[in-house]
Amino acid sequence: MAIHSLILDSFRNHTQREFSFSRGLTVIWGENGSGKTAILEAIHTLSFGKSFRTHKQKELIRNGDESMVARGQFSIGTQEDVIAAQVTKSAGQKFKLNGKILTGRKELIGRNNVVVLSPEEQLVTKGGPIERRQFFDKMFSVSSMEYVEILQKYSRILKQRNAALVAVKENRAPLEELKSWDNQLVVAGSKLWDLRLGFITEFKQNLISMSNRYDPNIQFELFYLETVPTEENYKNKIKTSLKKDIALGRTSVGPHRDDVSLRWDNRDLRSFGSQGEHKLSLVLLKLAEMSFIREKTGIHPTLLLDDLFAKLDLERSKKIVSLLQGLESESGDPVQTIVTTTDILNVENSGLLSGVKESKTYHLER
């Protein structure tokens, strides 16, 4: 997959700008606030129908303007896509794929995949269970239509069951009403658990192999459920927590409560990790995500590496760069990579540009 060009119109701080990207490496450098992350955010929006920084699409509109447009030209083999996103203050958001207006973001998901590493994404290692679940759910959703569908189905049933719990609590509905939701929830939840466990088990292999390539001496591990509860067990747990769930007005058992724990050097990363360990583990998770998506879809996603060198010392930066270069030479094709940095010296010192066949550099000014 490759993005060839991007046009921004009133997107964040960019009034009107056009960028074209190398099929290999593009480096975007510039001082704080020059709009580097905004460019990656626009590409991500065209790929996934959402920013990775905000759920409020209107924040993307340049202050003082009425609307924004981002338009990108993508290709996979012979498939060429022109994707446009428009957000208007009065009318909300709209997506177009090759000139046709889409009814939602679903048609974009999984079509032109990108993997983004950004300081905003550090919550995957530093945040709570929700942020980690979102990381896995997103990776599995762009890799498998079956996963998106079951995830959406489960979320819908969960929402309805939670609404029914509140109705029962407020004596607006009889207890029986919950029964039908409970059965549907268990069926969809079991399916989701099955798929998630299968994918996480595969992803673990990608993570082990990426960590080993980076440095065989580091210990970076991921823990998740060993087995999925049987439907009977699941039903019993729902039954046992019924009183509590009615009091809370929400469902306390199920895959929406999953956590995946990460351990670095045999210590819980979230509680004990240093800044550099958090950053390094995020880089490895993202590179493992890239190889997972590639295995599942057969297509290499574009890598968006925002502030790649921040919080990494020179030795670790060099090791990451040689890992990236190794991935590239192995796959034969160039792995399209867009890197941002505040300091072009990082690019030179880490060796990022050495031996690269196709590259392009942009300098942004405020």
Ligand X SMILES: Nc1ncnc2c1ncn2[C@@H]1O[C@H](COP(=O)(O)OP(=O)(O)OP(=O)(O)O)[C@@H](O)[C@H]1O
Residues that bind ligand X (CB under 6 A): 12-13, 30, 32-38, 59, 61-63, 342
Rounded to the nearest whole angstrom, what is the least distance from the CB of residue 343 to Mg ion in the complex? 13
Selection from ligand X, Mg ion, none that 326 binds (CB < 5 to 8 A by kind) is: none
Decide whether 150 or 308 has the Cβ nearer to Mg ion.
Answer: 308
User: Which of 9-17, 31-39, 297-305, 323-331 is the region at the interface with Mg ion (rule: CB under 5 A)?
Assistant: 31-39
Rounded to the nearest whole angstrom, what is the least distance from the CB of residue 342 to ligand X in the complex? 5
Place of tokens 């999953």: 258
Decide whether 28 or 151 has the Cβ nearer to Mg ion.
Answer: 28
User: Which of 30-38, 53-61, 170-178, 205-213 is the region at the interface with Mg ion (rule: CB under 5 A)?
Assistant: 30-38
Decide if 54 contacts 79 (C-beta within 8 A).
Answer: no
3-class SS letters over 336-352: CEEEEECCHHHHHHHCC
Rounded to the nearest whole angstrom, what is the least distance from the CB of residue 12 to Mg ion in the complex? 10
Task: Give the Cβ contact number of residue 356 at 10 Å.
Answer: 16
Rounded to the nearest whole angstrom, what is the least distance from the CB of residue 239 to ligand X in the complex? 49
Decide whether 67 or 118 has the Cβ nearer to Mg ion.
Answer: 118
Decide if 73 contacts 81 (C-beta within 8 A).
Answer: yes
CA 178 to CA 176: how far, in whole Å?
Answer: 5
Place of tokens 């030209």: 73
Selection from Mg ion, ligand X, none that 13 binds (CB < 5 to 8 A by kind) is: ligand X
Selection from ligand X, Mg ion, none that 78 binds (CB < 5 to 8 A by kind) is: none
Task: Give the Cβ contact number of residue 248 at 10 Å.
Answer: 14
Rounded to the nearest whole angstrom, what is the least distance from the CB of residue 11 to ligand X in the complex? 8
Decide whether 30 or 254 has the Cβ nearer to ligand X.
Answer: 30
Binding to Mg ion by CB under 5 A, coded x per residue (else -) over 33-62, reads: ----x-------------------------
Closest CA to 305 of 30, 116, 45: 116
Rounded to the nearest whole angstrom, what is the least distance from the CB of residue 332 to ligand X in the complex? 32
Decide whether 33 or 128 has the Cβ nearer to ligand X.
Answer: 33
Near Mg ion in 296-325, by CB under 5 A: none
Closest CA to 161 of 187, 135, 191, 138: 187
β-sheet bridge partners, residue 83: 72, 97
Inter-helix orientation angle 275-297/314-331, to 10°: 10
CA 323 to CA 339: how far, in whole Å?
Answer: 15
Rounded to the nearest whole angstrom, what is the least distance from the CB of residue 36 to ligand X in the complex? 4
Decide whether 37 or 291 has the Cβ nearer to Mg ion.
Answer: 37
Rg for the chain, CA atoms, rounded: 22
**With contacts defined by CB under 5 A, how many residues of the chain interact with Mg ion?**
1
Position with the least CB separation from Mg ion: 37
CA 364 to CA 307: how far, in whole Å?
Answer: 14
Main-chain dihedrals φ then ψ at residue 79, nearest 5 degrees:
-80, 120
Q: Which residues bind Mg ion (CB under 5 A)?
A: 37
